[in-house]
Amino acid sequence: MLAVLVYFIVVYSMGSKYIGWYILWFVIIALFFVIVTLALRKTHHLHIHHYTIGMVLILLIGYQSVPAALIMGFCNGMMIEGGSRWGYDPVWIKNEGPKVEKIAVDNTIKERDDTQDNEKQSD
């Protein structure tokens, strides 16, 4: 699908000033994700959902034709399906520390730390 989108962008904008605008906006969007991810790398990690991909692809379709309308419809459906089925979760998710579970064993509550289990498995 992405290859078809790139093909139509190149075909419809070849020989015009618009191909430069497509490249510029693609670079701006990519730099936005890179800069924010680098700024939040200590506390968050990037998790791109398929609704985000649909939104970004819709931004890059800026002309009217039957193939472009089909691609835009697909991307819009991908965005709406992702949001309605899974919810619009954040793109940058806060890092969590090691998971600690409370397990009831013999009427006493013990805490189990996953990092200790991982260390035992690696030995």
What is the predicted pLDDT for the residue at 99? 55
Q: Answer with the residue of higher pLDDT: 59 or 5.
A: 59
What is the predicted pLDDT for the residue at 10? 72
Q: Answer with the residue of higher pLDDT: 71 or 118.
A: 71
Asked whether the predicted pLDDT for residue 69 surpasses 70, the reply is yes
What are the tokens at 45?
């990690």
Q: Answer with the residue of higher pLDDT: 36 or 117.
A: 36
Find the mean pLDDT for residues 105-111: 55
Average pLDDT, rounded, for the chain: 76
> What is the residue-wise DSSP string for the chain?
-HHHHHHHHHHHHTTSTHHHHHHHHHHHHHHHHHHHHHHTTTTEEE---HHHHHHHHHHT--S--HHHHHHHHHHHHHHHHHHHHH----SEEEP----EEEEEETTEEEEEEHHHHHHHHH-
Residue 86's nearest CA partner among 49, 58, 56 is 49
pLDDT, tens only, 40-67: 988 888 888 888 888 888 877 766 778 7
